Chains A and B, each alone.
Chain A
Amino acid sequence: GAVVSQHPSWVICKSGTSVKIECRSLDFQATTMFWYRQFPKQSLMLMATSNEGSKATYEQGVEKDKFLINHASLTLSTLTVTSAHPEDSSFYICSARDYGAGNTIYFGEGSWLTVV
Chain B
Amino acid sequence: LAKTTQPISMDSYEGQEVNITCSHNNIATNDYITWYQQFPSQGPRFIIQGYKTKVTNEVASLFIPADRKSSTLSLPRVSLSDTAVYYCLVGPRGVDDKIIFGKGTRLHILP
Contacts and interface: CB of A to CB of B under 8 A. Distances in A.
Interface in A38-68: 43-46, 49, 51
Secondary structure of the A contact surface, majority rule? strand
Contacts of A36: 101
26 contacts: A4-B43, A32-B96, A34-B98, A34-B99, A36-B101, A43-B101, A43-B103, A46-B98, A46-B99, A46-B100, A49-B96, A51-B96, A93-B43, A93-B44, A94-B43, A102-B93, A103-B94, A103-B95, A104-B34, A104-B46, A104-B93, A107-B36, A107-B43, A107-B45, A109-B42, A112-B41
B76 interface: no
Contacts of B100: 46
B65 interface: no
A105 B41 contact: no
The winner among B43, B44, B94, B98 for most chain A CB atoms within 10 A is B43
Nearest to B44: A107
Tier of interface size on chain B = 20 to 34
A116 B98 CA distance: 32
B15 interface: no
A94 B51 CA distance: 25
B49 interface: yes
B83 to A, nearest CB: 14
A110 B87 contact: no
Interface in B15-46: 34, 36, 41-46
A4 B45 CA distance: 11
A95 interface: yes
